[in-house]
Structure 1
């Protein structure tokens, strides 16, 4: 009986975490509020990062390449925990080809709700087309590991 309560507790926490991201809004680089709900229906890779984060700088070019490779099948979304002007300059310099949102305290709170209690960066949450979170990764996500997720999500 105790085992069932633990499983139910885990499942209810999972459902709350899933709904947190797709009911949230953050501004884009033009300061226009964007709802995450618009990206449901396709697998989504939501990456929390900052311009000053070295591992973030390493993985973003790989995300750009994978967004190009999986265009129309998967949606990458960047959530910068940083100031708008810094993020806009970074996005332009790197040629980020996917939506980039930003926020400081709001983005941090959203990241915590998605499972990153430590607040470390980078942090990536991976969702299937139904909006169900299938994985979270704290730290630099290697291209090969992400490609394995993408292959499963796009079968």
Structure 2
């Protein structure tokens, strides 16, 4: 074996080693980033804080969240300016109709009442839509939405525990399975 061949072999091994190390570092970095952006487990305090809230609905009524304690509840944080939120609303409404006697749905709008009213003229929704504005963003963070992105959906069971959290547009089948399992 010539000295050039020995050097070439060492360089290939070195390149493979550094390449593997780079892939491992990228995977670790991606995993850490996912952990930062993924929904965080909400504490019991956060759920208690949630149930202590009340917001005005588009229908003008004041909704005390305490009324939903002891029932399975789907809480969807959304906004009219959020395309994935708008896309999933008809599907959420369909699931609301499917589970009407088993699960309560509520939409918390991180938006203005005027924008939300215009939206429901085009896309009717059968469950309460509550007006939260920026207060809703903080409530969503307390429930595990560390990134603050929309849409964000949580499923709370009858005992007051968050059993599922979803950041981004939820697929109807995913939520359906969660509701059947819960």
Tell me the TM-score normalised to structure 1 length: 0.86
Task: Give the superposed CA RMSD.
Answer: 1.6
Who is 1:22 aligned against? 51
Q: 1:92 deviation in Å? A: 2.9
- Name the SS of the counterpart of 2:126 in structure 1: coil
Distance 1:62 1:129 in 2: 23
Distance 1:138 1:37 in 2: 24
Distance 2:62 2:155 in 1: 22
Greater displacement, 24-33 / 60-69: 24-33
The structure 1 residue matched to 2:94, chosen from 34, 48, 65, is: 65
Tell me the TM-score normalised to structure 2 length: 0.74
Who is 1:43 aligned against? 72
Q: 1:33 deviation in Å? A: 2.5
- CA offsets, 1:34-82, max 9 Å, x none? 1111112221000000001111111111111111111111011000100
- Name the SS of the counterpart of 2:106 in structure 1: strand
Gaps of 5+ in 2: 1-39
Who is 2:112 aligned against? 83
CA contact (8 A) 1:56 1:140 kept: yes
- CA offsets, 1:94-141, max 9 Å, x none? 110001101212111111111112110000011111221112111011
Q: Structure 1: which 4+ aligned runs deviate by more than 6 Å?
A: none
The structure 1 residue matched to 2:154, chosen from 125, 130, 138, is: 125
Gaps of 5+ in 1: 1-9
Tell me how many residue pairs correspond in the alignment.
Answer: 143
